[in-house]
Amino acid sequence: IAAFVALGPWLQEPDGFVKIFAATSFFFFAAAVVPLFFKESENLFSAESRRASEAVRPHSFWQVLSHDSSLARLAVVAASFSAAMILFPHYQAFAREQFGNTSHSLLTWIVVQNIATGLASLVVGPLADHRGNRLVIIWLLGCCTGTPLFVAALTMASQSTAMQWFWLAYMPLGFNPIMLRIISNYALELAPSVGLQPRYVSIVGGVMAIPFVLSPIVGWGIDILGGIPFFLAGAAIIALGTLVAFGLPEPRNRHFNMQKS
């Protein structure tokens, strides 16, 4: 609703992006202020959790990663998912290059992406609760594989047809914010103790951020070679992450041995 009421008219104004950025900054600020009023109970670790946390504290993150093959698998999955986020901003630029001015379609793409996020959340939440986060990771990551392939395939269609159906590429992109949360939730479940949960989440978050160092190179490469090679490579990387995700254990099934080496 906000996109249609405010974003649509602002996109048509010469200085509309100033208002868009100002509104975005305001809501980010509001989101940062609200947690100040949260009341969090004291985190009381069990004696076992404290011992586990103290035992790992002198060691590096690399040692924690190398001693848990399940965490290493999750790190590969998280890094593969970063390919989906790195390619995200290049889809609009690619459409503009292929189809010309796309400002009139930008609003539709944004609305589609946010609707996809909302609808997927209604399904993903209960599914994760009943079947576990592992299954959701496989499903969402597999869907993310389709976006770069779909965009690449549209180049073989006529310009009018490609422009007409380009909005479908933004549906899987709505899964990105959900995927970030699901990966973090899975890392929490994977940790062998409460005391190690922050370290597991930090490792996964750090690994997910590493591929972003390549973002400038990807952008430069797309300018030189075009988007198709990078979209196909990105799809292959995401597909690899999906295959690796099949090997992840289900933490809710405590019969798995966490594959400690």
pLDDT tens by residue, 141-192: 999 999 999 999 988 888 888 888 888 888 888 898 899 999 999 999 998 8
Q: How far apart are CA 135 and CA 252, in angstroms?
A: 12
Q: What is the pLDDT along the chain (261 residues), one digit of tens a residue?
A: 666 676 767 777 777 778 888 888 998 899 999 988 888 776 555 555 555 555 555 456 677 777 888 999 999 999 999 888 898 888 888 888 877 656 667 778 888 888 898 899 999 989 988 888 999 999 999 999 999 999 999 888 888 888 888 888 888 888 988 999 999 999 999 988 887 888 889 899 988 988 888 888 988 998 898 889 999 999 999 999 999 999 999 887 754 544 444
Judge contact between 116 and 172, C-beta under 8 A: yes
Q: How far apart are CA 260 and CA 68, in angstroms?
A: 5
| Neighbour tally for 107: CB within 10 Å | 17
The residues, any chain, with a CB within 8 Å of residue 226's CB and separated by 6 or more, are none
Q: How far apart are CA 137 and CA 160, in angstroms?
A: 35
Q: How far apart are CA 79 and CA 207, in angstroms?
A: 6
